[in-house]
Structure 1
């Protein structure tokens, strides 16, 4: 059962690493906003490309943030299970 405990802790660390790896790209997307003629040609603005681009940019950032939150919650849950196990949950797991 010690191997199961170690596996939980190991997996929690891996999920935290994945979450942390998403933080940089999420922060990098925000300043990439297109705003006005300095960023896009007039034809692109009149066609609404700037608005569409910004909508997609926000959606991608939201997805990265949601994934980041999910992976941190997953890691936290694995750590809690490992903690419960270490604090006496062995009887529950083994029965």
Structure 2
């Protein structure tokens, strides 16, 4: 999905509100794994892990693969990240 700055701004606003209400952690990545949002409600553990460049690369790969699976299935998809935590992805489709 190609996101304009307006798309990214709107998605960030929605994610901010969603994560504030649900207390669920969230991040928005495109179909190439590029992070297009802030890290919302990440646990202290995940913040520490993502500060390490080697682990952060693995986190980004998990974000990408989870997103690709969700897009392929057109549904939310649970998966286990490289640190053993249960995560899930939800596809966001434009048009």
The TM-score with structure 1 as length reference comes to 0.28
Point out the structure with the larger helix share.
1
Higher relative contact order (CA 8 A, sep 6+): 1
- Higher Cα radius of gyration: 1
